[in-house]
Structure 1
Protein backbone atom coordinates (compact mmCIF):
# COMPACT_ATOMS: atom_id res chain seq x y z
CA UNK A 1 0.00 0.00 0.00
CA UNK A 2 1.56 3.35 -1.02
CA UNK A 3 2.67 5.75 1.70
CA UNK A 4 1.89 9.45 1.26
CA UNK A 5 3.10 12.40 3.34
CA UNK A 6 0.28 14.83 4.08
CA UNK A 7 0.68 18.56 4.76
CA UNK A 8 1.02 17.92 8.47
CA UNK A 9 4.09 15.79 7.77
CA UNK A 10 2.25 12.58 8.65
CA UNK A 11 2.84 9.31 6.80
CA UNK A 12 -0.46 7.88 5.58
CA UNK A 13 -0.89 4.46 3.97
CA UNK A 14 -3.59 4.73 1.31
CA UNK A 15 -4.95 2.14 -1.13
CA UNK A 16 -3.50 2.53 -4.63
CA UNK A 17 -6.85 3.63 -6.09
CA UNK A 18 -9.15 4.58 -3.18
CA UNK A 19 -12.76 3.70 -3.97
CA UNK A 20 -14.58 4.97 -0.87
CA UNK A 21 -13.57 8.56 -0.20
CA UNK A 22 -15.11 10.89 2.38
CA UNK A 23 -14.32 14.60 2.16
CA UNK A 24 -14.55 16.74 5.29
CA UNK A 25 -13.47 19.97 3.54
CA UNK A 26 -15.83 21.97 1.27
CA UNK A 27 -13.20 23.53 -0.99
CA UNK A 28 -11.44 20.21 -1.44
CA UNK A 29 -14.74 18.44 -2.17
CA UNK A 30 -15.19 20.69 -5.20
CA UNK A 31 -11.68 19.81 -6.37
CA UNK A 32 -12.46 16.08 -6.08
CA UNK A 33 -15.50 16.67 -8.28
CA UNK A 34 -13.38 18.45 -10.88
CA UNK A 35 -11.01 15.50 -10.84
CA UNK A 36 -13.93 13.32 -11.92
CA UNK A 37 -14.36 11.28 -8.74
CA UNK A 38 -18.14 10.99 -8.93
CA UNK A 39 -18.20 7.30 -8.02
CA UNK A 40 -15.34 7.30 -5.54
CA UNK A 41 -16.54 10.10 -3.23
CA UNK A 42 -19.28 8.53 -1.13
CA UNK A 43 -19.90 11.21 1.53
CA UNK A 44 -19.24 14.82 2.47
CA UNK A 45 -20.19 17.48 5.01
CA UNK A 46 -23.33 19.59 4.98
CA UNK A 47 -21.16 22.58 4.07
CA UNK A 48 -19.80 20.95 0.90
CA UNK A 49 -22.20 22.91 -1.31
CA UNK A 50 -20.18 22.66 -4.53
CA UNK A 51 -21.05 20.97 -6.77
CA UNK A 52 -24.72 21.27 -5.94
CA UNK A 53 -25.49 17.86 -7.44
CA UNK A 54 -23.14 16.20 -4.92
CA UNK A 55 -24.56 18.22 -2.03
CA UNK A 56 -28.08 17.11 -2.95
CA UNK A 57 -27.50 13.41 -3.50
CA UNK A 58 -24.42 12.25 -1.60
CA UNK A 59 -24.43 11.08 2.01
CA UNK A 60 -23.79 13.87 4.53
CA UNK A 61 -21.82 13.12 7.66
CA UNK A 62 -22.44 16.26 9.74
CA UNK A 63 -20.65 19.60 9.79
CA UNK A 64 -16.93 20.17 9.35
CA UNK A 65 -16.51 20.50 13.12
CA UNK A 66 -19.44 18.30 14.18
CA UNK A 67 -18.84 15.02 12.40
CA UNK A 68 -21.13 12.02 12.74
CA UNK A 69 -18.41 9.54 13.66
CA UNK A 70 -20.74 6.54 13.78
CA UNK A 71 -22.05 7.26 10.28
CA UNK A 72 -18.49 7.57 8.99
CA UNK A 73 -17.61 4.24 10.58
CA UNK A 74 -20.62 2.60 8.95
CA UNK A 75 -19.51 3.84 5.53
CA UNK A 76 -16.08 2.20 5.93
CA UNK A 77 -14.06 4.71 3.89
CA UNK A 78 -10.65 3.81 2.48
CA UNK A 79 -9.66 7.51 2.47
CA UNK A 80 -10.77 10.52 4.51
CA UNK A 81 -9.66 13.97 3.40
CA UNK A 82 -9.45 16.52 6.23
CA UNK A 83 -7.95 19.94 7.00
CA UNK A 84 -6.14 21.28 10.06
CA UNK A 85 -8.29 24.42 10.32
CA UNK A 86 -11.64 23.19 9.02
CA UNK A 87 -11.88 20.12 11.24
CA UNK A 88 -11.39 19.54 14.96
CA UNK A 89 -8.23 17.81 16.15
CA UNK A 90 -10.02 15.41 18.50
CA UNK A 91 -12.39 14.10 15.81
CA UNK A 92 -9.64 13.72 13.22
CA UNK A 93 -7.33 11.92 15.63
CA UNK A 94 -10.16 9.54 16.49
CA UNK A 95 -10.86 8.78 12.82
CA UNK A 96 -7.14 8.39 12.06
CA UNK A 97 -7.00 5.47 14.51
CA UNK A 98 -9.35 3.53 12.22
CA UNK A 99 -9.02 4.93 8.69
CA UNK A 100 -6.43 6.56 6.39
CA UNK A 101 -6.80 10.33 6.94
CA UNK A 102 -4.88 12.75 4.69
CA UNK A 103 -4.77 16.23 6.26
CA UNK A 104 -4.11 19.48 4.44
CA UNK A 105 -2.69 22.59 6.10
CA UNK A 106 -2.94 25.65 3.87
CA UNK A 107 -1.99 29.27 4.52
CA UNK A 108 -0.25 30.03 1.21
CA UNK A 109 -1.09 29.66 -2.47
CA UNK A 110 1.79 27.24 -3.16
CA UNK A 111 0.39 24.97 -0.45
CA UNK A 112 -3.02 25.02 -2.16
CA UNK A 113 -1.42 24.01 -5.46
CA UNK A 114 0.57 21.29 -3.71
CA UNK A 115 -2.62 19.97 -2.07
CA UNK A 116 -4.44 19.80 -5.41
CA UNK A 117 -1.57 17.94 -7.05
CA UNK A 118 -1.25 15.58 -4.09
CA UNK A 119 -4.94 14.66 -4.19
CA UNK A 120 -4.64 14.11 -7.92
CA UNK A 121 -1.79 11.67 -7.33
CA UNK A 122 -3.49 9.88 -4.43
CA UNK A 123 -6.70 9.34 -6.41
CA UNK A 124 -4.94 8.31 -9.65
CA UNK A 125 -6.03 11.54 -11.34
CA UNK A 126 -2.64 13.22 -11.65
CA UNK A 127 -3.04 13.88 -15.39
CA UNK A 128 -6.43 15.47 -14.90
CA UNK A 129 -5.05 17.61 -12.06
CA UNK A 130 -2.22 18.93 -14.25
CA UNK A 131 -4.56 19.76 -17.12
CA UNK A 132 -6.59 21.96 -14.75
CA UNK A 133 -3.70 23.47 -12.81
CA UNK A 134 -1.37 24.51 -15.64
CA UNK A 135 -3.72 27.13 -17.18
CA UNK A 136 -4.55 28.37 -13.70
CA UNK A 137 -0.88 28.85 -12.88
CA UNK A 138 -0.51 30.79 -16.12
CA UNK A 139 -3.42 33.01 -15.07
CA UNK A 140 -1.82 33.56 -11.66
CA UNK A 141 1.44 34.61 -13.30
CA UNK A 142 -0.34 36.94 -15.72
CA UNK A 143 -2.36 38.70 -13.01
CA UNK A 144 -1.18 42.24 -12.33
CA UNK A 145 -2.54 44.15 -9.36
CA UNK A 146 -2.69 47.96 -9.44
CA UNK A 147 0.12 49.78 -7.70
CA UNK A 148 -2.27 51.25 -5.14
CA UNK A 149 -1.72 49.10 -2.04
CA UNK A 150 -4.98 49.88 -0.28
CA UNK A 151 -5.41 48.81 3.34
CA UNK A 152 -8.40 46.47 3.77
CA UNK A 153 -10.31 45.39 6.87
CA UNK A 154 -11.77 41.99 5.96
CA UNK A 155 -14.80 41.08 8.13
CA UNK A 156 -15.80 37.42 8.48
CA UNK A 157 -18.27 37.56 11.40
CA UNK A 158 -20.69 39.76 13.28
CA UNK A 159 -21.65 39.58 16.99
CA UNK A 160 -18.85 39.53 17.79
CA UNK A 161 -17.08 41.34 14.98
CA UNK A 162 -14.29 39.11 13.68
CA UNK A 163 -11.76 39.82 10.96
CA UNK A 164 -9.05 37.94 9.08
CA UNK A 165 -5.48 38.80 10.13
CA UNK A 166 -2.09 37.24 9.36
CA UNK A 167 -1.41 33.49 9.24
CA UNK A 168 -4.64 32.91 7.32
CA UNK A 169 -5.34 31.98 3.71
CA UNK A 170 -7.50 35.10 3.44
CA UNK A 171 -4.47 37.22 4.31
CA UNK A 172 -2.50 35.40 1.61
CA UNK A 173 -5.20 36.07 -0.99
CA UNK A 174 -5.56 39.74 -0.03
CA UNK A 175 -1.84 40.24 -0.48
CA UNK A 176 -1.75 38.26 -3.72
CA UNK A 177 -4.63 40.36 -5.08
CA UNK A 178 -2.71 43.57 -4.36
CA UNK A 179 -4.28 44.70 -1.10
CA UNK A 180 -2.74 45.26 2.32
CA UNK A 181 -4.40 43.58 5.27
CA UNK A 182 -5.20 46.35 7.78
CA UNK A 183 -4.91 43.78 10.57
CA UNK A 184 -1.78 42.12 9.25
CA UNK A 185 -0.05 42.90 12.55
CA UNK A 186 -2.50 40.65 14.44
CA UNK A 187 -2.87 36.86 14.44
CA UNK A 188 -5.48 34.67 12.81
CA UNK A 189 -9.09 35.81 13.41
CA UNK A 190 -9.18 38.52 16.08
CA UNK A 191 -12.44 39.65 17.63
CA UNK A 192 -12.43 43.45 17.92
CA UNK A 193 -14.93 46.10 18.83
CA UNK A 194 -15.70 48.71 16.21
CA UNK A 195 -14.19 51.27 18.57
CA UNK A 196 -10.90 49.34 18.55
CA UNK A 197 -11.03 49.15 14.77
CA UNK A 198 -11.34 52.92 14.47
CA UNK A 199 -7.68 53.11 15.58
CA UNK A 200 -6.52 51.16 12.51
CA UNK A 201 -5.59 52.69 9.16
CA UNK A 202 -8.32 51.47 6.83
CA UNK A 203 -8.86 52.47 3.20
CA UNK A 204 -11.47 49.83 2.40
CA UNK A 205 -13.79 47.46 4.21
CA UNK A 206 -14.69 44.06 2.77
CA UNK A 207 -17.69 42.18 4.13
CA UNK A 208 -17.36 38.52 3.22
CA UNK A 209 -20.26 36.39 1.99
CA UNK A 210 -19.10 33.61 4.31
CA UNK A 211 -18.85 32.25 6.95
CA UNK A 212 -21.17 35.09 8.04
CA UNK A 213 -23.58 36.03 5.23
CA UNK A 214 -23.07 39.79 5.19
CA UNK A 215 -25.72 41.78 3.27
CA UNK A 216 -26.37 45.35 2.17
CA UNK A 217 -27.96 46.18 5.54
CA UNK A 218 -24.61 45.58 7.23
CA UNK A 219 -22.97 48.12 4.93
CA UNK A 220 -25.42 50.72 6.22
CA UNK A 221 -24.61 49.71 9.79
CA UNK A 222 -20.87 50.25 9.33
CA UNK A 223 -21.34 53.42 7.30
CA UNK A 224 -22.46 55.10 10.51
CA UNK A 225 -18.89 54.69 11.79
CA UNK A 226 -16.95 54.96 8.53
CA UNK A 227 -19.04 57.27 6.32
CA UNK A 228 -16.13 58.09 4.00
CA UNK A 229 -14.64 54.61 3.55
CA UNK A 230 -15.90 52.36 0.73
CA UNK A 231 -17.55 49.21 2.10
CA UNK A 232 -18.03 46.33 -0.33
CA UNK A 233 -19.59 42.90 -0.20
CA UNK A 234 -17.09 40.34 -1.52
CA UNK A 235 -17.25 36.67 -2.46
CA UNK A 236 -15.80 34.88 0.55
CA UNK A 237 -15.22 31.69 -1.43
CA UNK A 238 -12.75 33.50 -3.69
CA UNK A 239 -10.67 34.63 -0.70
CA UNK A 240 -10.92 31.59 1.56
CA UNK A 241 -11.54 28.43 -0.51
CA UNK A 242 -8.26 26.82 -1.57
CA UNK A 243 -9.58 24.37 -4.17
CA UNK A 244 -11.25 24.88 -7.53
CA UNK A 245 -12.76 28.24 -6.48
CA UNK A 246 -9.25 29.65 -6.85
CA UNK A 247 -9.56 29.32 -10.61
CA UNK A 248 -11.99 32.24 -10.53
CA UNK A 249 -9.68 34.47 -8.46
CA UNK A 250 -7.69 36.28 -11.17
CA UNK A 251 -10.75 37.47 -13.12
CA UNK A 252 -12.72 38.22 -9.95
CA UNK A 253 -9.97 40.29 -8.35
CA UNK A 254 -9.32 42.17 -11.60
CA UNK A 255 -13.00 43.11 -11.74
CA UNK A 256 -12.97 44.01 -8.04
CA UNK A 257 -10.07 46.41 -8.57
CA UNK A 258 -11.84 47.99 -11.54
CA UNK A 259 -14.84 48.63 -9.33
CA UNK A 260 -12.73 50.01 -6.48
CA UNK A 261 -10.64 52.31 -8.63
CA UNK A 262 -13.84 53.60 -10.20
CA UNK A 263 -14.84 54.93 -6.78
CA UNK A 264 -11.92 57.42 -6.84
CA UNK A 265 -10.27 59.35 -3.98
CA UNK A 266 -8.93 56.29 -2.17
CA UNK A 267 -5.99 55.76 0.13
CA UNK A 268 -5.64 59.39 1.06
Structure 2
Protein backbone atom coordinates (compact mmCIF):
# COMPACT_ATOMS: atom_id res chain seq x y z
CA UNK A 1 0.00 0.00 0.00
CA UNK A 2 1.31 3.44 -0.90
CA UNK A 3 -0.01 7.00 -0.87
CA UNK A 4 -1.25 8.63 -4.06
CA UNK A 5 -1.76 12.38 -4.10
CA UNK A 6 -3.89 13.86 -6.88
CA UNK A 7 -4.26 17.64 -7.05
CA UNK A 8 -6.42 19.83 -9.27
CA UNK A 9 -6.10 23.53 -10.01
CA UNK A 10 -7.66 26.00 -12.39
CA UNK A 11 -4.40 27.81 -13.07
CA UNK A 12 -5.91 30.53 -15.30
CA UNK A 13 -2.97 30.50 -17.78
CA UNK A 14 -0.17 27.99 -17.38
CA UNK A 15 2.46 30.20 -18.97
CA UNK A 16 1.58 33.25 -16.87
CA UNK A 17 1.56 31.28 -13.63
CA UNK A 18 4.24 28.69 -14.33
CA UNK A 19 6.40 29.99 -11.40
CA UNK A 20 3.52 29.29 -9.00
CA UNK A 21 3.66 25.58 -9.80
CA UNK A 22 6.86 25.37 -7.77
CA UNK A 23 5.02 26.84 -4.77
CA UNK A 24 2.15 24.41 -5.25
CA UNK A 25 4.57 21.49 -5.52
CA UNK A 26 6.41 22.52 -2.35
CA UNK A 27 3.14 22.79 -0.44
CA UNK A 28 1.31 19.67 -1.63
CA UNK A 29 3.88 17.38 -3.31
CA UNK A 30 1.29 15.86 -5.63
CA UNK A 31 2.06 12.74 -7.62
CA UNK A 32 -0.40 13.94 -10.25
CA UNK A 33 -1.52 17.51 -10.92
CA UNK A 34 -4.49 18.26 -13.14
CA UNK A 35 -4.74 21.77 -14.55
CA UNK A 36 -7.67 23.59 -16.11
CA UNK A 37 -7.90 26.82 -18.10
CA UNK A 38 -4.32 26.48 -19.29
CA UNK A 39 -5.04 28.96 -22.13
CA UNK A 40 -2.16 27.55 -24.14
CA UNK A 41 -1.97 25.82 -27.54
CA UNK A 42 -0.17 22.49 -27.39
CA UNK A 43 2.88 23.67 -29.31
CA UNK A 44 3.55 26.41 -26.72
CA UNK A 45 2.95 24.32 -23.59
CA UNK A 46 5.89 24.85 -21.16
CA UNK A 47 7.06 21.24 -20.96
CA UNK A 48 10.60 22.14 -19.95
CA UNK A 49 9.58 24.14 -16.88
CA UNK A 50 7.13 21.47 -15.79
CA UNK A 51 9.63 18.63 -16.20
CA UNK A 52 12.07 20.64 -14.09
CA UNK A 53 9.62 20.16 -11.20
CA UNK A 54 9.76 16.39 -11.63
CA UNK A 55 6.63 15.83 -13.67
CA UNK A 56 8.08 13.59 -16.37
CA UNK A 57 4.75 12.55 -17.84
CA UNK A 58 2.62 15.29 -19.35
CA UNK A 59 -0.51 15.32 -21.47
CA UNK A 60 -1.87 18.69 -22.54
CA UNK A 61 -4.90 19.49 -24.63
CA UNK A 62 -5.07 23.21 -25.27
CA UNK A 63 -5.98 26.08 -27.52
CA UNK A 64 -5.03 29.72 -27.82
CA UNK A 65 -6.44 32.15 -25.28
CA UNK A 66 -8.97 30.10 -23.35
CA UNK A 67 -10.00 26.68 -22.00
CA UNK A 68 -7.37 23.93 -22.01
CA UNK A 69 -6.62 21.02 -19.68
CA UNK A 70 -3.47 19.13 -18.75
CA UNK A 71 -2.29 16.22 -16.62
CA UNK A 72 1.19 16.46 -15.08
CA UNK A 73 2.39 13.27 -13.45
CA UNK A 74 5.32 11.63 -11.73
CA UNK A 75 3.61 8.33 -12.46
CA UNK A 76 3.60 6.86 -15.99
CA UNK A 77 0.24 6.89 -17.74
CA UNK A 78 -1.38 6.19 -21.05
CA UNK A 79 -3.94 8.37 -22.76
CA UNK A 80 -7.48 7.04 -22.56
CA UNK A 81 -8.78 6.15 -25.98
CA UNK A 82 -12.28 6.83 -27.31
CA UNK A 83 -13.38 9.41 -24.74
CA UNK A 84 -15.94 11.77 -26.33
CA UNK A 85 -15.43 15.18 -27.84
CA UNK A 86 -18.10 16.76 -25.68
CA UNK A 87 -20.76 18.62 -27.68
CA UNK A 88 -18.51 18.08 -30.73
CA UNK A 89 -16.87 21.44 -30.11
CA UNK A 90 -13.23 20.42 -29.86
CA UNK A 91 -12.85 23.02 -27.13
CA UNK A 92 -10.31 21.23 -24.92
CA UNK A 93 -12.42 20.71 -21.82
CA UNK A 94 -11.47 17.14 -20.90
CA UNK A 95 -8.47 14.88 -20.86
CA UNK A 96 -8.45 11.30 -19.61
CA UNK A 97 -5.50 9.10 -18.70
CA UNK A 98 -4.89 5.71 -17.10
CA UNK A 99 -2.25 5.80 -14.38
CA UNK A 100 0.08 2.80 -14.14
CA UNK A 101 0.07 2.22 -10.38
CA UNK A 102 1.74 -0.75 -8.64
CA UNK A 103 -1.71 -1.75 -7.34
CA UNK A 104 -3.18 -1.68 -10.83
CA UNK A 105 -4.44 0.84 -13.39
CA UNK A 106 -6.48 3.84 -12.30
CA UNK A 107 -8.56 5.96 -14.68
CA UNK A 108 -8.35 9.72 -14.17
CA UNK A 109 -10.63 12.28 -15.81
CA UNK A 110 -9.79 15.99 -15.77
CA UNK A 111 -12.70 18.31 -16.68
CA UNK A 112 -13.16 22.02 -17.22
CA UNK A 113 -16.92 22.61 -17.41
CA UNK A 114 -18.06 25.87 -19.07
CA UNK A 115 -18.64 28.71 -16.63
CA UNK A 116 -21.95 29.43 -18.32
CA UNK A 117 -21.99 33.21 -18.62
CA UNK A 118 -24.11 35.49 -16.45
CA UNK A 119 -27.70 34.69 -17.41
CA UNK A 120 -29.09 31.35 -16.13
CA UNK A 121 -31.36 30.84 -19.13
CA UNK A 122 -30.57 28.36 -21.90
CA UNK A 123 -32.65 30.23 -24.49
CA UNK A 124 -31.18 33.67 -23.79
CA UNK A 125 -27.61 32.51 -23.13
CA UNK A 126 -25.81 30.03 -25.44
CA UNK A 127 -22.96 29.71 -22.89
CA UNK A 128 -25.40 28.46 -20.28
CA UNK A 129 -26.93 26.05 -22.81
CA UNK A 130 -23.44 24.70 -23.60
CA UNK A 131 -22.78 24.13 -19.90
CA UNK A 132 -25.98 22.16 -19.44
CA UNK A 133 -25.47 20.22 -22.67
CA UNK A 134 -21.94 19.15 -21.75
CA UNK A 135 -23.08 17.94 -18.34
CA UNK A 136 -26.01 16.08 -19.93
CA UNK A 137 -23.64 14.32 -22.36
CA UNK A 138 -21.20 13.45 -19.57
CA UNK A 139 -24.06 12.14 -17.43
CA UNK A 140 -25.28 9.83 -20.19
CA UNK A 141 -21.77 8.67 -21.08
CA UNK A 142 -20.72 7.83 -17.53
CA UNK A 143 -24.04 6.05 -16.95
CA UNK A 144 -23.04 3.74 -19.81
CA UNK A 145 -19.65 3.07 -18.17
CA UNK A 146 -21.15 2.16 -14.80
CA UNK A 147 -20.28 0.52 -12.53
CA UNK A 148 -17.03 2.45 -12.42
CA UNK A 149 -13.98 0.90 -10.80
CA UNK A 150 -10.71 2.56 -9.75
CA UNK A 151 -11.76 5.87 -11.27
CA UNK A 152 -11.22 9.48 -10.23
CA UNK A 153 -12.78 12.61 -11.74
CA UNK A 154 -11.37 16.04 -10.91
CA UNK A 155 -11.60 19.56 -12.20
CA UNK A 156 -13.22 22.93 -12.27
CA UNK A 157 -16.84 21.90 -12.69
CA UNK A 158 -18.05 25.49 -12.24
CA UNK A 159 -20.96 24.48 -10.00
CA UNK A 160 -21.19 24.75 -6.23
CA UNK A 161 -23.88 22.16 -5.50
CA UNK A 162 -24.49 22.28 -1.75
CA UNK A 163 -25.92 25.03 0.45
CA UNK A 164 -22.61 25.52 2.25
CA UNK A 165 -20.55 25.38 -0.94
CA UNK A 166 -21.35 29.09 -1.31
CA UNK A 167 -21.12 32.07 1.01
CA UNK A 168 -24.88 32.73 0.78
CA UNK A 169 -27.26 30.09 -0.48
CA UNK A 170 -30.23 32.50 -0.62
CA UNK A 171 -28.39 35.28 -2.43
CA UNK A 172 -26.83 32.98 -5.02
CA UNK A 173 -29.84 30.85 -5.96
CA UNK A 174 -30.27 32.84 -9.16
CA UNK A 175 -26.55 33.31 -9.83
CA UNK A 176 -24.85 31.04 -12.38
CA UNK A 177 -22.91 28.25 -10.59
CA UNK A 178 -25.52 27.71 -7.85
CA UNK A 179 -28.88 27.77 -9.63
CA UNK A 180 -31.22 24.83 -9.02
CA UNK A 181 -31.02 23.62 -12.64
CA UNK A 182 -27.20 23.45 -12.48
CA UNK A 183 -27.17 21.80 -9.07
CA UNK A 184 -29.67 19.19 -10.26
CA UNK A 185 -27.57 18.56 -13.39
CA UNK A 186 -24.36 18.09 -11.43
CA UNK A 187 -25.99 15.80 -8.90
CA UNK A 188 -27.43 13.77 -11.78
CA UNK A 189 -23.93 13.39 -13.20
CA UNK A 190 -22.67 12.20 -9.84
CA UNK A 191 -25.49 9.67 -9.51
CA UNK A 192 -25.03 8.39 -13.07
CA UNK A 193 -21.42 7.44 -12.36
CA UNK A 194 -22.18 6.55 -8.75
CA UNK A 195 -19.41 8.99 -7.83
CA UNK A 196 -18.42 9.77 -4.23
CA UNK A 197 -17.67 13.41 -3.34
CA UNK A 198 -14.13 13.13 -1.96
CA UNK A 199 -13.98 16.63 -0.45
CA UNK A 200 -17.26 16.26 1.40
CA UNK A 201 -16.01 12.86 2.55
CA UNK A 202 -13.72 14.84 4.87
CA UNK A 203 -15.74 18.04 5.42
CA UNK A 204 -19.35 17.64 6.60
CA UNK A 205 -22.03 19.18 4.40
CA UNK A 206 -23.04 21.65 7.12
CA UNK A 207 -19.57 23.27 7.08
CA UNK A 208 -18.60 26.01 4.63
CA UNK A 209 -16.13 24.87 1.97
CA UNK A 210 -14.74 27.07 -0.81
CA UNK A 211 -12.13 26.74 -3.57
CA UNK A 212 -12.77 30.01 -5.48
CA UNK A 213 -12.86 33.67 -4.53
CA UNK A 214 -13.73 36.31 -7.11
CA UNK A 215 -11.21 38.83 -8.43
CA UNK A 216 -13.95 41.42 -8.00
CA UNK A 217 -13.67 41.45 -4.20
CA UNK A 218 -11.58 44.33 -2.89
CA UNK A 219 -10.31 42.13 -0.05
CA UNK A 220 -11.16 38.52 -0.90
CA UNK A 221 -9.93 37.18 2.44
CA UNK A 222 -11.87 39.62 4.61
CA UNK A 223 -15.05 39.25 2.58
CA UNK A 224 -14.64 35.46 2.26
CA UNK A 225 -17.42 35.25 -0.31
CA UNK A 226 -16.28 31.99 -1.80
CA UNK A 227 -17.74 29.09 -3.75
CA UNK A 228 -16.70 25.44 -4.12
CA UNK A 229 -16.32 25.13 -7.88
CA UNK A 230 -13.43 22.63 -7.90
CA UNK A 231 -14.17 18.99 -7.22
CA UNK A 232 -12.66 15.55 -6.70
CA UNK A 233 -14.91 12.53 -7.16
CA UNK A 234 -13.92 8.89 -6.71
CA UNK A 235 -15.62 5.65 -7.66
CA UNK A 236 -17.28 3.86 -4.76
CA UNK A 237 -14.56 1.19 -4.54
CA UNK A 238 -12.06 3.95 -3.65
CA UNK A 239 -14.03 5.43 -0.74
CA UNK A 240 -12.09 3.35 1.75
CA UNK A 241 -8.80 4.47 0.21
CA UNK A 242 -9.40 8.17 0.96
CA UNK A 243 -6.82 9.27 3.52
CA UNK A 244 -6.87 13.07 3.63
CA UNK A 245 -7.51 16.25 1.67
CA UNK A 246 -6.06 19.74 1.50
CA UNK A 247 -7.43 22.96 0.06
CA UNK A 248 -4.50 25.32 -0.40
CA UNK A 249 -6.30 28.54 0.55
CA UNK A 250 -3.05 30.56 0.96
CA UNK A 251 -2.55 30.20 -2.81
CA UNK A 252 -5.34 32.74 -3.35
CA UNK A 253 -3.02 35.33 -1.83
CA UNK A 254 0.01 34.49 -3.98
CA UNK A 255 1.31 37.18 -6.31
CA UNK A 256 -0.54 36.97 -9.63
CA UNK A 257 -2.84 34.40 -8.07
CA UNK A 258 -5.55 32.46 -9.85
CA UNK A 259 -9.04 33.04 -8.48
CA UNK A 260 -9.15 29.28 -7.80
CA UNK A 261 -6.92 27.49 -5.29
CA UNK A 262 -5.35 24.03 -5.61
CA UNK A 263 -7.25 21.09 -4.13
CA UNK A 264 -5.55 17.80 -3.22
CA UNK A 265 -6.82 14.39 -2.18
CA UNK A 266 -4.56 11.64 -0.88
CA UNK A 267 -5.49 7.98 -1.18
CA UNK A 268 -3.84 4.82 0.09
CA UNK A 269 -3.82 2.24 -2.67
TM-score by length of 2: 0.29
The structure richer in helix per residue is 1
User: Which fold has the larger relative contact order, with Cα–Cα distance below 8 Å and residues 6 or more apart in sequence?
Assistant: 2
Q: Which has the larger radius of gyration?
A: 1
